[in-house]
Amino acid sequence: MENKWFTISVYSENSVGLLNRISGIFLKRHINIESLNVSKSEIDNVSKFTIVVYTTEDWVRNIVGQVEKQIEVIKAFYHTDEETIYQESALFKVASTLLFDERNIQNIIKDSNSQIVTVSREFFVLAKTGRRNEIDDMYQQLKPYGIMQFVRSGRIAVTKSEMKISSLLKEFNQ
């Protein structure tokens, strides 16, 4: 079975220690977490983990089963890239002089659809949201001019199909 990119979505209670419990499942199977994002979800007091892994479908199915088994996990899913809408965000800190001295920098900003978050005397910060390859392209374009700092977020994703968490929770409260 071939390795593929999978996005794992985990809906959970907001509880201390759950991240440790979940990451331990990946650790046990020696699977690298390519990216991890934890945030609130569409439901009050329910957290959402978005975890990206590169592995086989058999393994991701097993992992998701073991994640879902954790007491404080409400539901866990895995999806392929085709089944999700996903984005990442990145920040580039660049020297301010370049904004005026290098004409091409302005073209890069325009072409990449990135935003200037702040400009100061010494540096300016660009924010870019998009697919991993778009961020990588922008990185490659800016690199020759010098990037003072770079950071990229984990993937965030929503799925094309419904997850039905609310109805699950409603069932419990009946």
> Interface residues with another protein (CB under 8 A)?
12-13, 17, 20-21, 24, 28, 44-45, 61-62, 65-66, 68-69, 71-74, 169, 172-173
Least CB distance to another protein at residue 15 (A)? 9
**Contact (CB, 8 A) for 116 and 125:** yes
Closer residue to another protein, CB minimum distance, 4 or 69:
69
Closer residue to another protein, CB minimum distance, 20 or 133:
20
Length of the chain: 174
Please, where are the H alpha helices in the chain?
A: 18-28, 57-68, 96-101, 103-111, 132-142, 165-173
For 6-37, the three-class secondary structure string (H helix, E strand, C coil) is EEEEEEEECCCCHHHHHHHHHHHCCCCCCEEE
Q: How far is CA 147 from CA 33, 46, 83, 131, in A?
A: 26, 37, 34, 20
Closer residue to another protein, CB minimum distance, 22 or 108:
22
Closer residue to another protein, CB minimum distance, 100 or 172:
172
Least CB distance to another protein at residue 76 (A)? 10
- Name the 3-class secondary structure at 3: coil
Least CB distance to another protein at residue 58 (A)? 8
Closer residue to another protein, CB minimum distance, 17 or 144:
17
Least CB distance to another protein at residue 160 (A)? 24
Least CB distance to another protein at residue 66 (A)? 5
